[in-house]
Amino acid sequence: GKEMCLDYESLVQPELCASTVPAAQGATEHVEDFFFRTVHLGTECWAFCALSRLRVARGEALAGRWGDAAAHVRTVARVLEYLGNHVTMLSSMCLSDYLPLKVEIDGTSGAGSVQVRELRGALSLMLDPLCEAAAGMCPGVGARGTKAPSPALPKKGSFRSSSKKLRVAIAQGGGPAQAQRPAEAPGGSEGEAVFEAIVGVYGSPGEFPELNAYAKALEVCEGALLGGFYHRHWALARGVIGSEARGTMNGAVAGLRAACETPVFPLLDRVRAHLGRDADARLSANKGKLLQRIAAQGPAPPPPPFP
């Protein structure tokens, strides 16, 4: 319906775009000025699209329409991957032309973008519906994904925003660290329950296919934000002004790397690591068997000589 469409005037703000054209303000003093600002304006517009799609996806997830929510999240992932390519256009700038501009725009930064700086926080909120649904559906989930009988998928519209207590548990990661007893786990008993529930979703994908597909979509989108957009932004800055330089907001270029290495969904990261450790322990007798069978067959015949 029309309400699902993006508002062109709000998205593009053509009057503001027109005001950035050098002809409207007089000739620019810097050769790379117009190119630099145009790429950043495009970044802001695409970030607006991504945030709009995330809002739609969250609404679908809260209504229990997990397939639609996952599809929207994957669309956002494609936008973020494109954004990574989009910003790397700036690598074509002539350094001797850009450096005088960099000095003049000191105090400004792409990090000041209203839309771009919301991306991580908006994406992190997409985990809330999954945690709430999983915790409600998997009350008997164990560490290996075995579960007690649980109700079917909740009906449409049965979810509400997560409670403050649950959100704190999610933000703290939920679930035990290796050296912690369950009672000492971040988020307390509720965080532990969320952790075990997500373990069940990952450990029994056939039992919870829609939730599992949604979780996988979140992984893809996280990878697109961290590896697609943030990493390429860091690589761009390193390639243009050097890894030892400081940006226009006096922030070290090396500091951009931290954004690439900080997960959006630490809880999902811990769940995957937990399942991996569990599989290693249960299947330790099979460790290395494939290579042992290959070695038992003897050396492979030498390849034919290169003509």
The CATH number given to whatever domain includes residue 240 is 1.20.58.480
Domain membership of residue 99 (yes or no) is yes
Burial degree of 46 (CB within 10 A; 0-12, 13-18, 19+): buried
Written as one string, the DSSP assignment of 140-197 is T--TTS-------SPPTT---PPPHHHHHHHHTT-S--TT--GGGSTTHHHHHHHHHH
Give the burial string for 237-274 (b: 16+ CB within 10 Å, else e).
bbebbeeeeebbeeeebeebbebbeeebbbbbebbeeb
Write down the pLDDT at residue 296: 87
Write down the pLDDT at residue 43: 86
Q: What's the pTM value of the predicted model, to 2 decimals?
A: 0.70
Domain membership of residue 289 (yes or no) is no
222 is written with which tokens?
A: 């996280």
Domain of residue 221 covers 2-283
Written as one string, the DSSP assignment of 60-72 is HHHTT-HHHHHHH
Write down the pLDDT at residue 162: 37
Domain membership of residue 6 (yes or no) is yes
**Number of neighbouring beta carbons within 10 Å of residue 149:** 6
- Per the structure, the count of domains in the chain is 1
- Sequence-ordered alpha helix ranges (H) in the chain: 8-12, 14-19, 22-25, 33-62, 66-87, 95-104, 119-124, 127-137, 164-171, 188-203, 209-223, 231-241, 256-261, 266-282, 289-296
Domain membership of residue 305 (yes or no) is no
Write down the pLDDT at residue 217: 97
- Rounded CA-CA distance 210/201 in Å is 9
The position carrying tokens 């990493």 is 231
Write down the pLDDT at residue 92: 78
Which parts of the chain have pLDDT scores under 50? Answer: 1, 24-27, 140-187, 249
Domain membership of residue 290 (yes or no) is no
- From the list 78, 86, 60, 85, the residue with the least C-alpha distance to 220 is 78
Domain membership of residue 302 (yes or no) is no
**Number of neighbouring beta carbons within 10 Å of residue 89:** 13
Q: Which phi and psi angles does 161 have, rounded to 5°?
A: -60, 145
Write down the pLDDT at residue 149: 34
